Structure 1
Amino acid sequence: MGKPKIRFKGYEKEWEQRKLGELVKFSKGTGYSKGDLKESGTPIILYGRLYTKYEIVIKDVDTFVDAKIGSVYSCGGEVIVPASGETAEDISVASVVEKSGILLGGDLNIITPSSELDSTFLALSISNGKPHNDMAKMAQGKSIVHLHNSDLEKIELAYPSYEEQVQISTYFGYLDHLITLHQRKCEEIKILKKYMLQKMFPRKGKNKPEIRFQGFTDAWEQRKLGEIAQSFEYGLNAAAKEYDGTNKYLRITDIDDASRKFNTDNLTSPDIEFSTAENFRLFDGDILFARTGASVGKSFIYRDSDGIVYFAGFLIRARIKMEYDAEFVFQNTLCESYGKYIQITSQRSGQPGVNAKEYSDYVFYLPTYDEQKKIGNFLHQIDNLITLHQRKCDELKKVKKFMLQKMFPQD
């Protein structure tokens, strides 16, 4: 069969290859649907879980039904594969059911491995190696594609010694554990950020927030955005061209919806004469607002670390006066009160939109400059923590993808 490109030290023998039907036993789940789900009862896995909450090893199940006579229960260690789905790629995946006593719903192909195969290794192979590609080719159907146990029997499976299988499974289990840890931490910090936005800015009808830094007690003053910005300008009416390596072009679609960071995966440059476009270049603390379409109201703060950036025409720039803290103003645009203002103001007969005058009329409360600075810095540090964990999570996912390609034969 050959060898994968990356292996653990001490393993050199070529992998064996046999038809899956010679190595496992096949069975099917029994019919339950979403309509059968209850708030409590017997835990069940329905085939849709493998698309919406895909895991190599399913450790916990949070869907329940009232069990019927003749149902199929897991013994622990089964590998399940969807029997139907929307695309061939959808159903060419597998998961291990770790625990016993879990109901296995209809439209699930159930594979019980022999003593020669580690369950997790088998699920990884089906989801990522050559078996994955072969299964996708076998899937039949148009609007809905199907994969039967009779198809799975014919799949050629390459596998090493049981010990090496376990090593591989353990390694990817560890990677998944690290990814989960960073995802969980990221979500926890996002919840903290949402809470602090609610508590560190005054609620409707109030002029003081519920949480403040020590030493600050004065009431906040009401201001319009137009009073604290020295200017509002519309962006460049220019096409995008291939990135020149220096000058970046920021459009609405380049602002990440969740993080409000500049998404630099597909950088472009504006197709302009730069000597005449200095007014459209961003400077530290400039705040951009999306002025039309589904993204209306989306905000972004430019930082020097973003490099040389010019902004596009569907964005409006507010340049904040020096006596106010731009970070504080930006963080205010992430609050619920700002969202409600945009929701009301953006209503149009056609596409939703908010122009520069309407943005300038947005009213909010401001404390002293020193308190603005402390709040802005604190919330920005939380954003940095979210970015740190998200970046680590993304890096680990890339490592996992790379290693899956190198640790399993692909042809």
Structure 2
Amino acid sequence: MTNRPNIRFGKFNDDWEQRKLIEISDIVTGTTPPTKDKDNYGGDRLFVSPADIQGNRYVDETITTLTEKGYALGRELRAGTTLFVSIGSTIGKVAQIKESATTNQQINAVIPNVEMDDNFVFTMLENEAEKIKKLAATQAVPIINKTTFGETEIQFPKKEEQTRIGEYFSNLDSLITLHQRKCDETKELKKYMLQKMFPKNGERVPEIRFAGFTDDWEQRKLGELAEIGDIDHRMPPTVEDGIPYLMTGDFCGINELNFEGVKHVSQEDYEQLSRKIKPEKGDIIFARYASVGAVRYVDFTRDFLISYSCAIIKQSKKINSKYLYHYLTGDPAQKQIKLEINSSSQANIGIDSMKNSITVLLPSADEQTKISEFLSGLDNLITLHQRKSDELKELKKYMLKNLFPNNK
């Protein structure tokens, strides 16, 4: 067993020590105040259950709260304590509290002693969570009892190095949370603006408009605005090196297509299947099966095919394609699409229904451009923050492997 990590901060060079978790911390199993006494609940005190541990490092609010009376019946945990879910389907989830709290009995709390750094202990347990999960007793409800949990062998350096490692991962977690929060907030803003920037059903003007636009919007059938079709209904054989053949399962991100690991077809099959229609830059891909109504705007130049489970809405001079893409993601269009879905063994929507039953509300060309630029800007922000969050998560995985001895 190695007792040194691959990467270390500056001057640190000592071997890491190995001890049992119970030897370097107090382990406290939570308890639930009597639920029959309503005076125990509804106050300002945090009462943590596994449902409150949802991926973010810190628990700063809880679904259930306690009054001072209820809190006094629990086992108080100081700020900085690490929480480890030890019973149930979410066993192995780890979190940390920034203020004093109590927990229910599904959580083992780890309160480090003076030779241990709080942030280091959290990161160490997060890193060891998968290994600790395997200690769970195999029964209907998985459980790691307090004794077994406390016997877990862990490795740690001197406290000064612990503090450096703990601070590094604390800062990294804060950056991940920041970008994920900005991503989620921008998604909520976009959802709100989609509701307000397109007229509601039966209306001809939206609630929110850019300055200078006052005219009513025109209503047209989708089939009047653009050519709509799909490729030949034949599944071609796969080749090792050829033209990418995508399906709805390859939709990803806010408006992305994933080309990694996709099926490829021969040049001959590509030319035959795309005789009627093929996806090109400026077109919209519309899922007719599976995730019916999901759309992607093609903003790149590349030869590829999209399965006949999707329709291709060709770029047209009659409408700004980027505007149409955003319109189709909004509530009015999505409600129409749901009404046209065939509820057979596999939900789908036909090309004729798309052409004749889906209507589009159309402002002037200038207003279309303004709307599409604004919403595309939000999409870019969402993608930016999500990508940054994902990159930081990958960095964290790498550093967890290398700032701790790798004995897995």
Does the pair score TM above 0.5?
yes
**Residue of 212, 226, 250 corresponding to 1:229:** 226
Q: Which residue of 1 aligns with 2:107?
A: 108
Deviations 1:232-278 (A, max 9, x none): 2346532574773x73222111113x613213454332366334344
CA distance in 2, matches of 1:44, 1:240: 57
Give the secondary structure class of the aligned counterpart of 1:112: strand
Letter in 1 for 2:399: M
Give the secondary structure class of the aligned counterpart of 1:381: helix
Give the secondary structure class of the aligned counterpart of 2:227: strand
**Residue of 319, 323, 327 corresponding to 1:332:** 327
Are residue 286 (structure 1) and residue 257 (structure 2) matched?
A: no
Are residue 368 (structure 1) and residue 364 (structure 2) matched?
A: yes
Q: TM-score, normalised by structure 2?
A: 0.89
Give the secondary structure class of the aligned counterpart of 2:109: strand
Letter in 1 for 2:97: V
Letter in 1 for 2:75: V
Change (3 A) 1:55 1:185: closer
Give the stretch that moved more between structures: 194-203 or 8-17: 194-203
Change (3 A) 1:97 1:382: closer
Q: Which residue of 1 aligns with 2:377?
A: 381
Are residue 296 (structure 1) and residue 310 (structure 2) matched?
A: no
CA distance in 2, matches of 1:253, 1:5: 39
Q: TM-score, normalised by structure 1?
A: 0.88
Give the stretch that moved more between structures: 2-11 or 24-33: 24-33
CA distance in 1, matches of 2:186, 2:401: 32
Letter in 1 for 2:24: L
Change (3 A) 1:233 1:110: closer
**Residue of 149, 152, 158 corresponding to 1:152:** 149
Unaligned stretches of 5+ in structure 2? none
> Identity rate of aligned residues, in percent?
31
CA distance in 2, matches of 1:92, 1:240: 44
Change (3 A) 1:387 1:393: same
Give runs of aligned pairs for residues 35-74 of structure 1, distance below 5 A: 40-50=43-53, 53-66=54-67, 67-68=69-70, 70-74=73-77
CA distance in 2, matches of 1:134, 1:363: 55
Given that 2:5 and 2:402 are in contact with CA atoms closer than 8 Å, whether structure 1 keeps it comes out as yes
Aligned length: 399
CA distance in 2, matches of 1:266, 1:34: 52
Given that 1:296 and 1:353 are in contact with CA atoms closer than 8 Å, whether structure 2 keeps it comes out as yes
Letter in 2 for 1:289: F
CA distance in 2, matches of 1:402, 1:238: 40
Give the stretch that moved more between structures: 320-329 or 390-399: 320-329
Are residue 315 (structure 1) and residue 332 (structure 2) matched?
A: no
Give the secondary structure class of the aligned counterpart of 1:110: strand
CA distance in 2, matches of 1:240, 1:15: 56
Give the secondary structure class of the aligned counterpart of 2:50: coil
Q: Which residue of 2 aligns with 1:91?
A: 91
Change (3 A) 1:247 1:123: same
Change (3 A) 1:299 1:147: same
Unaligned stretches of 5+ in structure 1? none
Give the stretch that moved more between structures: 116-125 or 194-203: 194-203
Q: Which residue of 2 aligns with 1:260?
A: 255
Q: Which residue of 1 aligns with 2:347?
A: 352
Letter in 1 for 2:84: V
Cα distance, 1:7 vs structure 2: 1.2
**Residue of 211, 214, 219 corresponding to 2:216:** 219
CA distance in 2, matches of 1:404, 1:146: 26
CA distance in 2, matches of 1:401, 1:187: 22
Q: Which residue of 2 aligns with 1:210?
A: 207
Give the secondary structure class of the aligned counterpart of 2:174: helix
Change (3 A) 1:108 1:199: closer
Letter in 1 for 2:257: F
Give the stretch that moved more between structures: 313-322 or 267-276: 267-276
CA distance in 1, matches of 2:342, 2:274: 33
Change (3 A) 1:112 1:233: closer
CA distance in 2, matches of 1:235, 1:336: 31
Cα distance, 1:54 vs structure 2: 3.2
Given that 2:232 and 2:274 are in contact with CA atoms closer than 8 Å, whether structure 1 keeps it comes out as no
Q: Which residue of 2 aligns with 1:126?
A: 125
Deviations 1:27-65 (A, max 9, x none): 321136999896655320013433xx1344434445314
Give the secondary structure class of the aligned counterpart of 1:296: coil
